[in-house]
Structure 1
């Protein structure tokens, strides 16, 4: 006996992919930057610094339904530990691995794009996060 035939959607093909839920919502914060701390409105739950990191700078730039966010921080943790932290966090938010170069990490969906990069420093691990979010 054969298993039942798979159901098809009207018109054939695969079922539609659901629209992603935006990671940020309107109203977006005002454009701003800060040294040594998180700028007002920074999306900590999405891209806050790892524990025991020293924040060097943060910024937010907004226009209509789009927000660009940056974070530069330093930590005594290894680059592997920092990379593992953000991979776990961003995967848990439903973002897909978008590949990476030079030891960094990139995750995205149709409304968000986040990346992690590292730079050489005298001491510790310096890392940079860059993200672009849209509300719709």
Structure 2
């Protein structure tokens, strides 16, 4: 009986010891796993895994970023601005030269047809008034003068005439074109009243307006209104 009790006690002790060993083994295994998975305080996962110094890894990353920024800045500075012209090395770009004017020079103003002193303002019936520039504005041959007049003002002379010529309207207009053309007057028709014709002669600031109409006898009645200047362009 004593031996049997000893055997039972030994079996119990062995079971207790075995259970204790299993518990200790599980605790030890958990601590080992935790120690392997937990990172060291103050270190980055990359540095811990590779064995490299954390300060060295940060410095390398900063150097790579700085190199990329420098490369971008260098490329931007080397690339010329869009739309700008680049000159070959060693050559100077000269400014564009404006083209010279190609128009012909303006002709000088014509010489005056009358001179100072100008005649006093006056008029006459049935004849040519004193001071009328008959050498510039000559009437057709056989003209009957109805009235003439002159008026002076600030270097210009206004002339008026009313007369009848024993010829057609075309003949009268042709006469004044022949005497005024050599003096560099140019002519153009202007609007006139019904039954009349009007022609304007121009030369610089000088002008002569001729108006004609046919009388009941077939003659031509013409009226003149002219402005002549004592100085060119005056």
Instruction: Tell me which interval the TM-score lies in, with the shorter structure as reference length.
Output: 0.7 to 0.9
Deviations 1:55-111 (A, max 9, x none): 000000111201100111012111111010001111111112243334222111123
Q: CA RMSD in A?
A: 1.7
Q: Is the 8 A contact 1:100 1:106 kept in 2?
A: yes
Map residues 50-89 of structure 1 onto 2, 5 A cutoff: 50-89=140-179
* Structure richer in helix, relative to its length: 2
Residue 221 of structure 2 corresponds to which residue in structure 1? 126
- Greater Rg over alpha carbons, structure: 2
- CA–CA distance in 2 between the matches of 1:105 and 1:88? 13
* Structure richer in strand, relative to its length: 1
Deviations 1:24-71 (A, max 9, x none): 111111100000000001111221221101000000011120110011
- CA–CA distance in 2 between the matches of 1:34 and 1:126? 18
TM-score, scaled to structure 1: 0.85
Q: Is the 8 A contact 1:33 1:59 kept in 2?
A: yes
Q: Does 1:105 align with 2:199?
A: yes
- CA–CA distance in 1 between the matches of 2:120 and 2:221? 26
Q: Is the 8 A contact 1:22 1:111 kept in 2?
A: no
- CA–CA distance in 2 between the matches of 1:83 and 1:21? 24
TM-score, scaled to structure 2: 0.51
Q: CA deviation at 1:23?
A: 1.2
SS of the aligned residue for 2:136 comes to: helix
Residue 72 of structure 2 corresponds to which residue in structure 1? none
Equivalent of 1:20 in 99, 110, 116: 110
Task: State the structure with bigger RCO (CA 8 A, min sep 6), 1 or 2.
Answer: 1
- CA–CA distance in 2 between the matches of 1:111 and 1:64? 14
Q: CA deviation at 1:120?
A: 4.8
* 5+ residue gaps, structure 1: 1-9
Q: CA deviation at 1:119?
A: 3.5
